[in-house]
Amino acid sequence: MDLRRLRYFVAVAEARSVGKAAERLRMAQPPLSVQIRKLEAEVGAPLFRRGTRGMDLTEAGQALLVRASEALALAADGIEAARAVASGKRGRLSVGYMFVLANAILPRLIPELRRSVPGVDLEFAELSASTREARVLDRSVTVALCMPAINHPEIQVARIGAQRFMLAMPASSPLARLSSVPMARLHGRPLIALPHPDHGPASSAVVPLLRRHQVVMPIASRVETVHSAMSLVLAGEGFAILPACAQLGAPRGIVFRPLRDATDSLDIAVCWRRDSQSPLIETFIKCAEKAVARM
Amino acid sequence: MDLRRLRYFVAVAEARSVGKAAERLRMAQPPLSVQIRKLEAEVGAPLFRRGTRGMDLTEAGQALLVRASEALALAADGIEAARAVASGKRGRLSVGYMFVLANAILPRLIPELRRSVPGVDLEFAELSASTREARVLDRSVTVALCMPAINHPEIQVARIGAQRFMLAMPASSPLARLSSVPMARLHGRPLIALPHPDHGPASSAVVPLLRRHQVVMPIASRVETVHSAMSLVLAGEGFAILPACAQLGAPRGIVFRPLRDATDSLDIAVCWRRDSQSPLIETFIKCAEKAVARM
DNA sequence: GCCAACTCATACGTTTTCGGTATGCCAATG
DNA sequence: CATTGGCATACCGAAAACGTATGAGTTGGC
């Protein structure tokens, strides 16, 4: 059965006349008459009573009419919905984020997103450093807010900001009395190390920084997450070198101080599959940039 | 947009492959591929991601899929529903009946109908003698249970039984003591007259009967309905000559007696528009015949 | 009471669209 | 590097739909 036939049928039923319906459909009357008869042949029963003053639905025709109208509307709505999704007016956007960024960015990002794409279903999911790449690749998140960016040939990256490294330590530490800490003062102190996601679990994100200043910090502990690092710092296990935004989620008793002679930073980036042609990604990046700008 | 395209689209989406879908659709792969691309052109956006191992829906495609599946199901259901109505398995049957017949027939007819056509919505409406013809002609009832039958070129009739005329009188009347009343005994007594529906309001259904027996009964009152007639009989206004089934609805204090030497009767008939091709009519007649047979 | 007007149905030629076959392109695989 | 397995393209024949011309039946007016 053909949707055109149903469309014709509905038109004739509503106009109660083949001629009128043909006019509305911008076609000649005879082919429309033929199509109606073909539909009747397909159903196996007359759908109209032919009178001298037009056509009138039979009960079988009435039964068909309600469903055919709905089917037409659904099909049209389907096309429309697909267009809306393709254009970014509707759809779903699953946003992955790393926990360090949550407090700094989400409170500004989420309202901005809801305002920009009101028809889109938003979904947020925390990403761990170890799985973030896989979550982007298997599309379980559409975009990921990462620090640093994911490095993978299938994944595209937009840098939207950066966070300077700062020294995190217990408030009781003598270094906490300085307004900024010279790199040299770190020499020999124990380090709570976070791995660099690109270099495996035994790496540390601050190796280049320390090496450049010829500072050696023995690694006291290796942790996976920023909150773990801060917990250990609070427990007096050592010092951590963390991106500035981490202090928004820091517990009481931890102080952050800038590193006086180091301008190193970690990029904040939006990452997504290169073949995700969703138009929402562009919009998301704009929103994220705004949120970062007001951080 | 064409329903065939949508059907193809759903098949490809479900098979996640043009080739597999083509096989299921019993067609070659290239034309199917062409149709999918035409649909994408119509939507204005890709519906599938082409990988090296088949096709995968985009989000726009997913949005279309749910609606397209529903539309397909609805269209198929519409055709099926029209067939069901045309074959009498589903639909609506509006039954008109004249009040005299209600008590005698409906209690047996209605259960019989519900058993015979369980998928059909039944509707019952009392008909007055003056409007019954119009109600059949304008299809506000599909069939009418009438006594006597409607006489009209557009209306078809099936006789399903007959009811002998009986004399209705107050229990206190001397004639009530007879087990049957000779026609001659009616001579000169006042008549409560019901019009014959074919001969206008000033007629009487029993004129031929009286004339044949050379009985003259002065008309005491003209009434429209059988219950009016019985009310006046009970009030002592006169005698009525009514079909036998009327006694089922007669109030206490009225007695019916057969007319000894008169076998006249009124036909019970099913009446319907000649151009109503509903298959339910045939079934209805069968049910009505059964109901009358057990009356 | 006959003719004009209006309705849907039929016939036929033209055009569009669809489906099949042959073939190309590309990536993954051994 | 050849083979395999997937989709895309090109071309041709077939089917379906559309338009024009026309027929048939009924209503309504003169």
Q: Are A141 and A96 in contact (CB under 8 A)?
A: yes
Q: Is A51 on the interface with B (CB under 8 A)?
A: no
Q: Is A60 on the interface with B (CB under 8 A)?
A: yes
Q: How far is the C-alpha of A204 from the C-alpha of B233, rounded, in Å?
A: 112
Provide the 8-state DSSP code for A250: P
Query: CA nearest B82 in A: which residue?
Result: A60
Calculate mean pLDDT across residues B89-102: 93
| pLDDT value for A294 | 87
CB-count exposure of residue B291 (10 Å: 0-12, 13-18, 19+) = buried
Interface test with B, best of A67, A117, A123, A143 (most B CBs within 10 A): A67
Calculate mean pLDDT across residues A2-26: 95
Q: Kindly give, in sequence order, each residue whose CB lies less than 8 Å from that of residue B23, ignoring residues fewer than 6 positions away.
A: none
Q: Is B122 on the interface with A (CB under 8 A)?
A: no
Q: Of B66, B75, B275, which is closest to A49 when you measure between CB atoms?
A: B275
Percent of chain B clearing pLDDT 90 (strictly above): 76
Among A135-139, B244-248, B283-287, which range has the highest average pLDDT? B283-287
CA angle A49, A55, A61 (to 5 degrees): 60
Distance from the Cα of B226 to chain A's closest Cα (Å) equals: 34
Q: Are A46 and A32 in contact (CB under 8 A)?
A: no
Percent of chain B clearing pLDDT 70 (strictly above): 98
- State chain A's mean pLDDT as an integer: 92
A64 alpha carbon, distance to own chain's centre: 42
* Per-residue pLDDT tens digits for B190-235: 999 988 877 766 667 788 889 889 999 999 999 988 889 999 999 9
Q: How far is the C-alpha of A60 from the C-alpha of B86, rounded, in Å?
A: 5
Query: Which domains are present in chain A?
Result: 3-86 (1.10.10.10), 91-160+269-293 (3.40.190.10), 162-266 (3.40.190.10)
Nearest nt to the B26 alpha carbon by C1': C19
| pLDDT value for B233 | 95
CB contact under 8 A, A75 and B1: yes
List all nucleotides in chain D with at least one atom under 7 A from a protein Cβ.
5-10, 17-22, 25-27
Contact list in A for residue B64 (CB cut-off 8 A) is: 78-79, 81-82
* Å between CA of B7 and C1' of D8: 21
Q: Are A6 and B3 in contact (CB under 8 A)?
A: yes
Provide the 8-state DSSP code for B212: H
Question: CA gyration radius for chain A?
Answer: 32
Contact list in A for residue B86 (CB cut-off 8 A) is: 43-46, 58, 60
Q: Is B64 on the interface with A (CB under 8 A)?
A: yes
Provide the 8-state DSSP code for A144: E
Q: Pull the structure tokens for residue B90.
A: 């589903």
Q: From start to end of B10-134, where are the E strands?
A: 48-51, 54-57, 91-98, 120-127
Distance from the Cα of A126 to chain B's closest Cα (Å) equals: 22
Q: Are A64 and A47 in contact (CB under 8 A)?
A: yes
Provide the 8-state DSSP code for B152: -
Q: Of B4, B74, B90, which is closest to A2 when you measure between CB atoms?
A: B4
- State chain B's mean pLDDT as an integer: 92
Provide the 8-state DSSP code for A181: B
Q: Pull the structure tokens for residue A145.
A: 């807010």
| pLDDT value for A203 | 67
Percent of chain A clearing pLDDT 90 (strictly above): 77
Contact list in B for residue A278 (CB cut-off 8 A) is: 59
Cα–Cα nearest to B143, from B94, B85, B100, B99: B94
Calculate mean pLDDT across residues A117-143: 92
Q: Write phi, then psi, for B93 (nearest 5 degrees).
A: -130, 115
Distance from the Cα of A122 to chain B's closest Cα (Å) equals: 14
* Å between CA of A27 and C1' of C14: 16
CB contact under 8 A, A83 and B278: no
Cα–Cα nearest to A88, from A139, A138, A122: A122
Q: How far is the C-alpha of B228 from the C-alpha of A218, rounded, in Å?
A: 113
Q: Pull the structure tokens for residue B75.
A: 């269209």
H/E stretch holding A77 reads helix A59-87
Q: How far is the C-alpha of B230 from the C-alpha of B217, rounded, in Å?
A: 17
Contact list in A for residue B278 (CB cut-off 8 A) is: 59
Provide the 8-state DSSP code for A43: H
Q: Are B148 and B269 in contact (CB under 8 A)?
A: yes
CA distance readout (Å), A153 to A31, A275, B205: 57, 11, 98
Using a 7 A cutoff on CB, list residues near strand C: A 17-20, 29-31, 33-34, 36-37, 50, 52-55; B 2, 4-5, 26-31, 34-35, 38, 52
Q: Kindly give, in sequence order, each residue whose CB lies less than 8 Å from that of residue B62, ignoring residues fewer than 6 positions away.
A: A85
Nearest nt to the A31 alpha carbon by C1': D18
**Three-state DSSP class for residue B265:** strand
Q: Pull the structure tokens for residue A127.
A: 């990403």
**Three-state DSSP class for residue B154:** coil
Name the residue closest to D26, CA to C1'.
Answer: A52
Q: Kindly give, in sequence order, each residue whose CB lies less than 8 Å from that of residue A211, ignoring residues fewer than 6 positions away.
A: none
* Window from A74-83, A150-159, A167-176 with minimum mean pLDDT: A150-159
Contact list in B for residue A45 (CB cut-off 8 A) is: 82-83, 85-87
* Per-residue pLDDT tens digits for A234-282: 999 999 999 999 999 899 999 999 999 888 899 999 999 988 878 899 9
Q: Is B119 on the interface with A (CB under 8 A)?
A: no
Q: Of B66, B78, B83, which is closest to A44 when you measure between CB atoms?
A: B83
Q: Is A81 on the interface with B (CB under 8 A)?
A: yes
What dihedral do alpha carbons A195, A199, A200, A202 form, nearest 10°?
Answer: -60
Q: Has residue A209 got a pLDDT over 80? A: yes
Q: How far is the C-alpha of A63 from the C-alpha of A66, rounded, in Å?
A: 6
* Per-residue pLDDT tens digits for A170-187: 999 999 999 999 999 999
* Per-residue pLDDT tens digits for B152-195: 888 999 999 999 999 999 999 999 999 999 999 999 999 999 88
B26: left (phi over 0), alpha (psi -120 to 50) or beta: left
